[in-house]
Structure 1
Amino acid sequence: MILETRDDAVVTLTLNRPARKNALDPESWALLREKLEALAVDDAARVVVLTGAGGTFCAGSDLAGSSAEEHPLTKMGRLGRVAITVHEFPKPLIALVDGAAVGAGANLALACDFVVATPAARFGQIFARRGLSIDFGGSWLLPRLVGLQQAKRLVLLADLIGADEARDLGLVTWVEEDAATFTASLARRLAALPPVALAQSKALLNRGVTQSLRDALDNETRAQAVNLATEDAPIAYRAFLDKVAEPQYTGRWAVR
């Protein structure tokens, strides 16, 4: 089960299977993908916070909830489609992590744009303890975040690491005692910024790590053309000239 709540332009999705430490069964993974796809095209939603109920973020996939009759390729294909939806989500996505984020649950958190952790957060690539190899995009993401040797350490030894070490490695953006309040403030800041420009920059950064400089420059040129065709670029310019502290961005297309 996944709860959805709204506070103006900020939407919070809460993984709500505390009895299973928020491990997600096939229906839950499908629901997460469905909710993110709907929010991606919902102009009223500008920022999404992903968190877990009951003092745990997510214990990964619920192996007990999987059908023994279903082919593993079918299961993994479904999981891969959810991972793509998370990685390509066009709006700012914040993981608020308390307690354990392990296995696919760890890589779900790391796929978000920002990770805000409580001091009690723990992260683990525990696949080897289950006789499995890394999944949910971790083989692609981890080396980009921490480098190849550290990625191998985390995955092959399958150790749990604390919030501070995760931050030092670059897996966590902030460790905060009052992580919920901090995340709410961060989400409001992001929601007040130009939505189209943020979406463009997010996509450029995500693609840039695997592109040449020429490809990145070409993509930046196209993105700026889109930005300049919205109401937000003129609003930002006028706000700069008039010294307006908090301009109201719309994201609306301005070409007529």
Structure 2
Amino acid sequence: MTAQPASTSAAPLVHQDGSVLTIAVSTSAAGTSLADDALAQGTAILHEVARGEREVGAILLVGTGANFCAGGNVRAFASADHRPTYLRGLADDFHAFVNALQAANRPVVAAVKGWAAGAGMSLVLHADVSIGGPMTRLRPAYRGIGLSPDGGLTWTLPRVVGSARARHIILTDQVIDADHALSWGLLSDVVADDEVESAARSAAEKIAAGPWEANAAARSLLTQSATRSLGDQLYAEAESISALSASPEGIEGVDAFVEKRSPDFGAARTS
């Protein structure tokens, strides 16, 4: 869900440095709730990535305030003239962003500092790599305001932690500390609190420096494996590795290995 006035921060909410697209999903305004303008901008730019109109190797989700994202702006919910219409619009906008994130098919890294609650937790579950700190906390938070989850949380969470644990987390509105989040697979790594964003950015840059087509293919295979039989997955893997071997990046990677040099995937993409 989204509800926030335009940011007054001088820093752009959506910007690209090299091959990394950074989207600030929250700001210090409105209690670090979702940044409506950033989601709108991010959705449009992610569609450009999906259409091949923008060259992006990785997507980095950050919060510019004290937290990654504390969820939707509940005060805005309360002041809406007609809450059902307002909340449906917010959910549709949020889901458009989630769908665009998926359609872009680029590795997503989340810098999960502080709280990731409600919609913030939903976003963490859409990241391929999520890095937090010892003070990171995740919480569904919907039940506490009498609402049900959005942002795909009821779809992603059972796939990460299993159905029984997902039900327990959501129905008891469990606060998950960094240690449990790491052991349950909700976080990929835990670093010092003041290093969360730099570590996440470093991971995004490392991913973006690699082979983009192979990254996209691996991401798709991992996503689709949940609904495929082993036989179907083996077939898809064989098709993928065969096709990539003829791609510029695949040719460069294999040739570089044989020639005992570091591959230059960027040059291969533009040749």
- Aligned partner of 2:48: which letter? A
Residue matched to 1:195:
212
What residue is the counterpart of 1:62 in the other structure? 73
Structure 1 residue 173 corresponds to structure 2 residue 188: yes
Give the AA of the match of 2:190: V
CA offset at residue 56 of structure 1? 0.8
Change over 3 Å in CA distance of 1:114–1:106 after alignment to 2: same
- What residue is the counterpart of 2:4 in the other structure? none
C-alpha deviation, 1:26, in angstroms? 5.0
1:95 aligned onto 2:110 = yes
In structure 2, what residue type is equivalent to 1:52?
G
Q: 2:157 matched to which residue of 1?
A: 142
Do 2:141 and 2:173's aligned partners in 1 also have CA atoms closer than 8 Å? yes
**Does 2:266 correspond to 1:245?**
no
Q: State the Cα distance separating 1:253 from its structure 2 match.
A: 9.0
1: distance between equivalents of 2:106 and 2:89?
28
Q: For residues 185-240 of structure 1, what are the alpha-carbon distances to aligned partners after superposition, in whole Å with 9 as ceiling and x for unaligned? A: 22222122110111011011111111222332333344234423321111111111
What is the alpha-carbon root mean square deviation over aligned residues? 2.4
CA distance in 1, matches of 2:219, 2:267: 18
Q: Which residue of 2 aligns with 1:111?
A: 126
- TM-fit CA distance, 1:109: 1.4
- State the one-letter code of the partner of 1:108: L
CA distance in 2 between partners of 1:43 and 1:35 (Å): 8
How many Å separate the matches in 2 of 1:75 and 1:122? Answer: 24
Cα deviation, residue 24, structure 1: 2.2
3-state DSSP of counterpart to 1:126: coil
CA distance in 2, matches of 1:22, 1:34: 22
User: Residues 1-256 of structure 1 correspond to what in structure 2 (within 5 A)?
Assistant: 1=7, 3-24=13-34, 27-40=37-50, 41-66=52-77, 67-69=80-82, 70=85, 72-177=87-192, 178-250=195-267, 252=269
2:15 counterpart letter in structure 1:
T
Aligned length: 254
Q: Could you tell me the TM-score, scaled by structure 1's length?
A: 0.88
Secondary structure of 2:24 counterpart: strand
Instruction: Quickly say closer, same or farther: Cα 1:137–1:27, change in 2 above 3 A.
Output: same
Contact (CA 8 Å) 1:195, 1:250: kept in 2 or not?
A: no
8 Å CA contact retained: 1:231, 1:250: no
- Structure 2: runs of 5 or more not aligned: 1-6
Q: Distance in 2 between matches of 1:28 and 1:64?
A: 19
How many Å apart are 1:74 and its aligned residue?
4.6
One-letter amino acid of the structure 2 residue matched with residue 93 of structure 1? V
Residues 195 and 249 of structure 1 are in contact (CA less than 8 Å); yes or no, is this contact kept in structure 2? Answer: no
Structure 2 counterpart of 1:62, which letter? N
Q: Distance in 2 between matches of 1:6 and 1:115?
A: 19
How far apart in 1 are the matches of 2:14 and 2:268?
24
The CA distance in 2 between the partners of 1:19 and 1:163, in whole Å, is 25
Shift of 1:75: 4.2
For the residue of structure 2 that corresponds to 1:21, the secondary structure is helix
Show CA shifts across 1:60-79 (max 9, x none): 22233354432654543333
Counterpart-to-counterpart distance in 1, 2:267 and 2:235: 26
Q: Structure 1: where are the runs of 5+ without partners?
A: none
Aligned residues of 2:57 and 2:107 also touching (Cα < 8 A) = yes
Of all paired residues, the percent bearing the same amino acid is 27
Q: What CA distance in whole angstroms lies between the structure 1 residues aligned with 2:209 and 2:172?
A: 42
Aligned in 2, Cα 1:139/1:230: closer, same or farther, shift over 3 Å?
A: same
Q: Deviations over 1:143-185 (max 9, x none)?
A: 1111112111210111222212211111000000122332232
Shift in alpha-carbon separation, 1:81–1:180, aligned structure 2, 3 A: closer
**C-alpha distance in 1 between matches for 2:205 and 2:41:** 25
